[in-house]
Chain A
Amino acid sequence: MGIQTHFNKFRGKIKLGREDDAYKKARDRDDSIKRHVTKEFKDAGYPIVDDFIQGSLKTHTGIIPISGDYDIDRALVVDADTAPENPVTPKKKALEVLENRGFKNAKIKKPCVTADYAGDDLHIDLIIYKRSGDQHYLAVGKKNSDENNREWAIADPLGLMEWVVDFSDCDDDEAQDVRSQFYRLVRYVKRWRDEQFSETVGAKVFSIGLTVMVKQNLESSFSTEGASQDLEALRATVEAILDAGYFDEEEDGKYRVRVDLPVEPYRDIFYGSSLDTGTQLYNKLSRLKEQLRKAEALSDEREQCKILNELFGDDFEIPDSPNGGSKTAKATYLTPGFVRTSQGA
């Protein structure tokens, strides 16, 4: 078998979808909290008019966490006409709900209300918007922020998610294949981050930042027959990311990373991030590129997998035999009982 089969297995192991069993408990918990908050907001006079899941689950780029919690980014939208003037007011209300429901470490962060539910390995972010027409405004501010440090800030959460999944500039017939490869690459890169960075630094290498970089520099790769070549695609995409101007060398060997949101308000996703974060990201991406190049040049599958295992962790398995093992095990048809072909003579 070729190296792609190993990537496919790897992706199968790390992929997390909203309907996956691994995620079911978290979802139930999320639904119940949503109902609770909905009631509270309604009673407070600013009923929730819309809600949606934000982030990787929505964009098919979710991965199973190697340690820590399942993340849920739950957006709650109230109408601009009924929304309190102070954006921290509904955030406090949400905090109350979380505290009453037994969440630990519940606190109001600048863009959201966040809490952990220890029993279920759940980490939840409630993100509150007000909406006027089609325009969303994010409730920004901490618990005790004064007027200068809190605001309803212009945002486009739906536009961002649409941007991530939009491949309308691709050939119609190939958009689906290119998009799927993109989803896979984002998952690989996120798992790579979880493996290669300490938890503290990794938390600052935001998923959305990685997703935007991969999307903007995607170099998809397929065989003539249309078989995915994820190794080539990932290597080429990482090369392109490093050349894309996201990294600014502020001091000798020290990098600042800057990736602007592709939608309103077009702010820097990594705004305020440290030189250390930028430098680590730059250096680790450079190493990723080198290792992928090395793997690509090898013909022995087991040797390739060893390199990829070191980059992506044990979910990228190393086969027993040099040629990928399981020669006979795969004599199965992953297709239906019959297929109409165009073949004749």
Chain B
Amino acid sequence: MNRESICQSLRTAGHDAALIDGGLRLRVTFQLGGRPIKLVHDFEKEILRVPKFDLEGGHGFGKLAHVLSDGNGHGGEVCIGDVASTSVNIECPERVYQDTVEEHVGLLRRLIEDPKYNRAELLREFEAHWAILCRAADGGPNELFVAWDGEESEGLQVRPPRAEPGVDLRNRPIALAGSLANNRRLDSVRGCARWGTRQTVGKAVALRLKNLEPAPDTLIDLVPWYLKAIDHVDATGARDLRRLNKKSSGLYWLVFSAPIPEGETMFAIRLHRSERGRLPISEEETARWSVTPYRVRSLARRSLVPRGGGSLDLGKKAVLLVGCGSVGSELALRLTSAGVGSLTLSDPDTLSEKNLYRHTLSAKDIGRLKTEALAGEIALRHPWAEVTHWPKRLQSLRDPAVLRSFDLVVIAIGVPTVERVFAEYCRTESVDVPVLSCWLEGYGIGGHAILALPGMKGCWLCAYVDPKTLGRGLASNLNFLAPDQVVMRNHGGCGTQFLPYSGIAASYTASVAADLAVRFLAGEVPTSSKVSWKGSETEAKRASLAVTWRHRHFAESLQILPLHDRDCDICGG
């Protein structure tokens, strides 16, 4: 990388560029609103990202968005967007610097010339500015885990860890909003944090702000900023503040939530002093308090679920999942990870050592009911899902009232006969509940899911129309392995047969089934549908197994296709 050449190319492009500090740094100066603006870049050994430029302080334009100060002045690193996903033309450093400088100049011009835009951007990145403030404070990084939905002000308990600060939840301070104190969905989080062994310390309140000012630039500005901010709390919050202003404590925690453009943000302030006193809410009262900013790491449903790619709308959906084997257990996790709020697991089986490797559960759960162990696993991973478990088989679930209480029944048992009995029951008793059945085939050849919606063409039997006779068949017409072959392996005699397939096959099958289920629950699948994934026939060939016509011709893996078959005797043409 030739620094001279980079500098020269910038000059040629009309910039006022100079190498400074013996060529270690590059400075680009330009005029905005009649004032000089200086961008400084520290050269790095090689180009691994878009070059970073710092805006030198004292530019006189006040606080600017996308300029991340060190918490002590107006200058700081300019952020022109996501760095990791930008692919840089390393063969042509001159172009890289030229384009980077132009991007910086463009951004700064817009921020300075359009104060409204600057303010909106400052609010949008409130969390980043607040984090800088937290790092600058004594004892940083100052983080508080908070379980509060942030919708309105309410009481709060804060419990610091008993042990020294550390990396996991046991060693982090945690705050729990009053409305969630007894919510079972947070049991797993409370367990991980050893909440029950901790003591509530100080007085705390969760405050909803109706609007928000950009974060203070420096710690010195924090107190006046705080005093202004509390003017904007909602009515409940104002009452809580007045109440705390009459109490006495040496430690107060204030956790805030506030609207920002396109979302919400949370942050916290800790007020502390050696002797007890009332919560300071005016300038004179704050005098002898040390006021510390804290970042909030939200455990709220409405931040965790969307951040993890789940849908908040699915929180209201209730799904019954029958079968918690390799496919079912993975499917359960996929459903709750998508945001499904209520999941009932049904399976009478216990976990065996034989299930390990292709099951999501682990050796610590051997001998336990799969449903119960899985419910615990889900609670840890997706704390906002409510999971119930029943040790029942599909045939025992033939109860219209029970079935109708679900938005969807998912069957992952891989037993076509019982599924047929169940489908026949739902049809003859007019149990109008949507049913999704899924199964895989052995030898990595593929897996399938069918969704039958009541009162609509496309039923379970549509997936069983025999392509040769066009009558009812016994093996699904979705299958990739031809029927009536010996596919089970048997190592120990009768009762020990098993279908050979891998955890990957189970996982794929669970994924296509979960995708179909989630799209249906989200209202994206209005008709009875089917979906398959097709694997390689290598293993099947090795086992001398014949594949079906469908396997040879199927090219629609993962695509959601209509389930209806014109030759189904139930649905008709």
Complexed CA–CA distance, A222 and B549 (Å): 9
Partner pick for A335 among B466, B476, B549, B569, CB 8 A cutoff: B466
B550 touches A224 (CB 8 A): yes
* Interface segment, one of A130-138, A146-154, A170-178, A270-278: A170-178
B552 touches A339 (CB 8 A): no
Restricting to A318-345, which residues have a CB under 8 Å from any CB of B? 323-324, 327-336, 338-345
A339 touches B483 (CB 8 A): yes
> Does A2 make an interface contact (CB < 8 A)?
yes
* Chain A residue, CB-CB nearest to B501: A344
For A339, the chain B residues whose CB sits under 8 A away are 473-475, 483-484
Complexed CA–CA distance, A79 and B248 (Å): 126
B441 touches A330 (CB 8 A): no
* Chain A residue, CB-CB nearest to B470: A5
> Does A301 make an interface contact (CB < 8 A)?
yes
Can you list, as one digit per residue, whether each of B414-431 has a CB less than 8 Å from chain A (1) or not (0)? 111000000000000000
For A333, the chain B residues whose CB sits under 8 A away are 471-474
Complexed CA–CA distance, A253 and B207 (Å): 92
Complexed CA–CA distance, A29 and B310 (Å): 79
A343 touches B441 (CB 8 A): yes
Can you list, as one digit per residue, whether each of A39-70 has a CB less than 8 Å from chain B (1) or not (0)? 00000000000000000000000000000000
Q: Say whether, besides A222-B549, A226-B549, A345-B440, A340 and B485 are in contact (CB < 8 Å).
A: yes
For B323, the chain A residues whose CB sits under 8 A away are 345
* Chain A residue, CB-CB nearest to B510: A345
> Does A225 make an interface contact (CB < 8 A)?
yes
For B554, the chain A residues whose CB sits under 8 A away are 224
B573 touches A323 (CB 8 A): yes
Can you list, as one digit per residue, whether each of A1-27 has a CB less than 8 Å from chain B (1) or not (0)? 110110010000000000000000000
Partner pick for A345 among B327, B470, B486, CB 8 A cutoff: B327
For B484, the chain A residues whose CB sits under 8 A away are 339-340
Partner pick for A341 among B468, B474, B547, CB 8 A cutoff: B474
* Chain A residue, CB-CB nearest to B463: A225
Restricting to B499-525, which residues have a CB under 8 Å from any CB of A? 499, 501, 506, 509
Complexed CA–CA distance, A171 and B551 (Å): 13
B479 touches A334 (CB 8 A): no
For A338, the chain B residues whose CB sits under 8 A away are 474
> Does B276 make an interface contact (CB < 8 A)?
no
Give min CB distance, B473 to chain A, whole Å. 6
For B473, the chain A residues whose CB sits under 8 A away are 333-335, 339
> Does A223 make an interface contact (CB < 8 A)?
yes
Q: Say whether, besides A331-B472, A335-B473, A224 and B573 are in contact (CB < 8 Å).
A: no
* Chain A residue, CB-CB nearest to B411: A345
For A1, the chain B residues whose CB sits under 8 A away are 470, 566-567, 569, 572-573
Partner pick for A342 among B413, B485, B553, B573, CB 8 A cutoff: B485
Q: Say whether, besides A301-B573, A335-B466, A335-B469, A225 and B549 are in contact (CB < 8 Å).
A: yes
Give min CB distance, B255 to chain A, whole Å. 45
> Does B277 make an interface contact (CB < 8 A)?
no
Interface residues on B, range: 35 or more
Give min CB distance, B276 to chain A, whole Å. 62
A2 touches B470 (CB 8 A): yes
> Does A227 make an interface contact (CB < 8 A)?
yes
> Does B325 make an interface contact (CB < 8 A)?
yes
* Chain B residue, CB-CB nearest to A302: B573
B442 touches A4 (CB 8 A): no
Most buried by A among B468, B553, B565: B468
Give min CB distance, A12 to chain B, whole Å. 12
B474 touches A227 (CB 8 A): no
For B573, the chain A residues whose CB sits under 8 A away are 1-2, 301, 323-324
> Does B412 make an interface contact (CB < 8 A)?
yes
For A332, the chain B residues whose CB sits under 8 A away are 471-472
> Does B445 make an interface contact (CB < 8 A)?
yes
B414 touches A345 (CB 8 A): yes
* Chain B residue, CB-CB nearest to A335: B474
For A174, the chain B residues whose CB sits under 8 A away are 549, 552
Complexed CA–CA distance, A336 and B293 (Å): 75
For A223, the chain B residues whose CB sits under 8 A away are 467
Give min CB distance, B478 to chain A, whole Å. 8
Interface residues on A, range: 35 or more
Give min CB distance, B499 to chain A, whole Å. 4
Complexed CA–CA distance, A301 and B567 (Å): 12
> Does B477 make an interface contact (CB < 8 A)?
yes
* Chain B residue, CB-CB nearest to A331: B569
For B416, the chain A residues whose CB sits under 8 A away are 341, 343
Give min CB distance, B551 to chain A, whole Å. 10
Complexed CA–CA distance, A4 and B473 (Å): 16
* Chain B residue, CB-CB nearest to A8: B470
Give min CB distance, A345 to chain B, whole Å. 3
For B509, the chain A residues whose CB sits under 8 A away are 345
Complexed CA–CA distance, A4 and B549 (Å): 17
Partner pick for A5 among B442, B547, B567, CB 8 A cutoff: B567
B412 touches A226 (CB 8 A): no
For A344, the chain B residues whose CB sits under 8 A away are 414, 439-442, 499, 501
A330 touches B569 (CB 8 A): yes
Give min CB distance, B482 to chain A, whole Å. 8
* Chain B residue, CB-CB nearest to A326: B569
For B442, the chain A residues whose CB sits under 8 A away are 342, 344
Q: Say whether, besides A1-B567, A8-B470, A341 and B476 are in contact (CB < 8 Å).
A: yes
For B545, the chain A residues whose CB sits under 8 A away are 342
Complexed CA–CA distance, A226 and B466 (Å): 9
Complexed CA–CA distance, A78 and B194 (Å): 101
Complexed CA–CA distance, A4 and B550 (Å): 18
For B325, the chain A residues whose CB sits under 8 A away are 345
* Chain B residue, CB-CB nearest to A330: B569
Complexed CA–CA distance, A317 and B438 (Å): 39
Restricting to A216-235, which residues have a CB under 8 Å from any CB of B? 222-227
Complexed CA–CA distance, A340 and B484 (Å): 4
Give min CB distance, B505 to chain A, whole Å. 10
Can you list, as one digit per residue, whether each of B556-573 has a CB less than 8 Å from chain A (1) or not (0)? 100000000111011011
Restricting to A277-296, which residues have a CB under 8 Å from any CB of B? none
Partner pick for A227 among B441, B467, B501, B546, CB 8 A cutoff: B467
B569 touches A227 (CB 8 A): no
B572 touches A226 (CB 8 A): no
* Chain A residue, CB-CB nearest to B414: A345
For B414, the chain A residues whose CB sits under 8 A away are 343-345
B546 touches A345 (CB 8 A): no
For B478, the chain A residues whose CB sits under 8 A away are 225
Give min CB distance, A327 to chain B, whole Å. 5
B567 touches A2 (CB 8 A): yes
A330 touches B413 (CB 8 A): no
For B548, the chain A residues whose CB sits under 8 A away are 225-226
B550 touches A334 (CB 8 A): no
> Does B328 make an interface contact (CB < 8 A)?
yes
Complexed CA–CA distance, A153 and B244 (Å): 118
B474 touches A173 (CB 8 A): no
B439 touches A340 (CB 8 A): no
> Does B481 make an interface contact (CB < 8 A)?
yes
Give min CB distance, A184 to chain B, whole Å. 13
Complexed CA–CA distance, A4 and B470 (Å): 8
Partner pick for B445 among A171, A177, A327, A342, CB 8 A cutoff: A342
Complexed CA–CA distance, A60 and B87 (Å): 66
For B546, the chain A residues whose CB sits under 8 A away are 173
Complexed CA–CA distance, A342 and B573 (Å): 28
B569 touches A328 (CB 8 A): yes
Sort A-B residue pairs by CB-CB distance and give the 3 closest, nearest first: A226-B549, A345-B414, A2-B566
Chain B interfacial positions (CB closer than 8 Å to A): 323, 325-328, 412-416, 438-443, 445, 465-481, 483-487, 499, 501, 506, 509, 545-550, 552-554, 556, 565-567, 569-570, 572-573
A-B contact pairs, 15 of them (CB 8 A): A224-B549, A225-B467, A225-B549, A323-B572, A330-B471, A333-B473, A334-B469, A338-B474, A340-B483, A341-B476, A341-B479, A342-B487, A344-B439, A344-B440, A345-B509
Known: A332-B471, A342-B443; 7 extra A-B contacts, CB below 8 A, are A2-B566, A174-B549, A223-B467, A335-B469, A340-B486, A342-B545, A344-B499
